[in-house]
Amino acid sequence: MKPAPFAYARASTLDDALALLAEHGDDARLLAGGQSLMATLNMRLSAPEILIDLNRIDGLANIEDTGDAIRIGAMTRHVDIETSDAVATHAPLIAAAMEHIAHPAIRNRGTFGGSIAFADPAGELPACAVALDATMHIAGKGGERAVAAADFFRGLYETAIEPGEILTAVSVPKIATGWRSGFLELARRHGDYAIIGLCAHVEHDGNVFGDGRLVFFGAGDRPVAAPKSAALIKGKSWSDALAEDLSAALKQELDPPEDLNADGPMRKHLAGVLVKRTLGPLAGA
Partner 1 sequence: MTDMITDRWILDRPNSYIGRSVPRPNAPRLAQGRGTFVDDVELKRMVHVAFVRSPYAHARMKSISTDAAKAAPGVVAVVTGKELAKIHDPWVGVLTHLEGIKSAPQYALPIDTARWQGEGVVAVVADSRAHAEDAVELVEIDWEVLPAVTDAETALDASTPVIHDDLGDNLTWRRNANIGDVDAAYTNADHVVEETFVFGRHTGVCLEARALVADFEPSEEQLTVWHNNQCPHMIQNILATHYHLDEHRVRVITRDVGASFGIKVHTYADEIATVGLSIMLKRPVKFVADRMESFVTDIHARDHRVKGKIAVKNDGTIVAFEIDDLTGIGPYSMYPRTSGIEANQVVNMIGGPYRFDNYRAVATVVFQNKNMMCQYRAVGHPIMCAVTEGLVDAAAKVVGMDPVEIRQKNFHPDDAYPTKSAQGLPFENLSHEESMKTLLEAMDYEALKADRDEKRKEGIYRGIGFASFIEVTNPSAAFYGVGGARISAQDGATLRLDAKGNVFVSTGATEQGQGMEAVISQVAATAVGVPPERLKIITGDTEHTPYGGGTWGSRAAGIGGEAVAQAGRALREQILVAAGAMLQEDAAKLDIRNGVVVDADTGNERIGLDEVGRICYYRPDTLPDGFQSELVATRHYVPRKYPFAFTNGAQASYLEVDVETGFIKLLRHWCIEECGTVINPLLVDEQIRGGVVQGLGGAMWEECLYDADGQMLNANLADYLVPMAAELPDIDCGHVVSPTADSDLGAKGAGEAGTCGAPACVMNALNDALSPFDAKITSMPFTPKKVLQALGKI
Partner 2 sequence: MDKNVDVTMTVNGETVTRRVEARTNLVDFLRYELGLTGSHVGCEHGVCGACTVRVDGRIVRGCLMVAAQADGSDVWTIEGVTETGEIKALQDAFVERNALQCGFCTPGMLLTVAELMERKPDASREEIREFISGNFCRCTGYQAIVDAVAMARAKGDA
Positions touching partner 1 (CB under 8 A) are: 1-5, 39, 43-44, 186, 188-192, 195, 260-263, 265-266, 269-270, 273
Look at the chain and count its residues: 285
Report, in Å, the least distance between residue 199 CB and partner 2: 21
* Residues 260, 87: Cα–Cα separation, whole Å: 34
111 within 8 A of 79, measured Cβ to Cβ: no
104 binds partner 2 (CB under 8 A): yes
79 binds partner 2 (CB under 8 A): yes
Of the ranges 85-93, 165-173, 183-191, 267-275, which one interacts with partner 2 (CB under 8 A)? 183-191
From the list partner 2, partner 1, none, partner contacted by residue 73 (C-beta under 5 to 8 A by kind): none
Report, in Å, the least distance between residue 40 CB and partner 1: 11
Dihedral through CA 262, CA 263, CA 264, CA 266, nearest 10?
-50
SS3 246: helix
Report, in Å, the least distance between residue 260 CB and partner 2: 15
* Residues 64, 51: Cα–Cα separation, whole Å: 28
* Residues 283, 256: Cα–Cα separation, whole Å: 27
Report, in Å, the least distance between residue 263 CB and partner 1: 7
Closest CA to 21 of 167, 168, 169, 165: 165
From the list partner 2, partner 1, none, partner contacted by residue 104 (C-beta under 5 to 8 A by kind): partner 2
User: Which CB atom, from 80 or from 253, has the smaller least distance to partner 2?
Assistant: 80
53 binds partner 2 (CB under 8 A): yes
User: Which CB atom, from 9 or from 14, has the smaller least distance to partner 2?
Assistant: 9
Q: Where are the alpha helices (DSSP H) in the chain?
A: 14-24, 37-42, 78-82, 85-90, 92-98, 104-107, 112-118, 124-131, 149-152, 227-231, 240-253, 264-282
Report, in Å, the least distance between residue 121 CB and partner 1: 15
From the list partner 1, partner 2, none, partner contacted by residue 261 (C-beta under 5 to 8 A by kind): partner 1
User: Which CB atom, from 99 or from 133, has the smaller least distance to partner 1?
Assistant: 99
From the list partner 2, partner 1, none, partner contacted by residue 273 (C-beta under 5 to 8 A by kind): partner 1
Burial class (CB in 10 A: 0-12, 13-18, 19+), 263: exposed
Closest CA to 167 of 148, 140, 142: 140
* Non-local CB neighbours of 83 within 8 Å, separated by 6+ positions: none
User: Which CB atom, from 124 or from 253, has the smaller least distance to partner 2?
Assistant: 124
179 DSSP β-pair partners: 203
Rounded to the nearest angstrom, the gap between the alpha carbon of residue 247 and the centroid of all alpha carbons in its chain is 24
From the list partner 1, partner 2, none, partner contacted by residue 148 (C-beta under 5 to 8 A by kind): none
Per CB under 8 A, contacts with partner 2 among 23-52 are 31, 34-35, 38-39, 41-43, 49-51
260 binds partner 2 (CB under 8 A): no
Residues within the interface to partner 2 (CB under 8 A):
1-8, 10, 31, 34-35, 38-39, 41-43, 49-51, 53, 55, 79, 99, 102-106, 108-109, 189-191
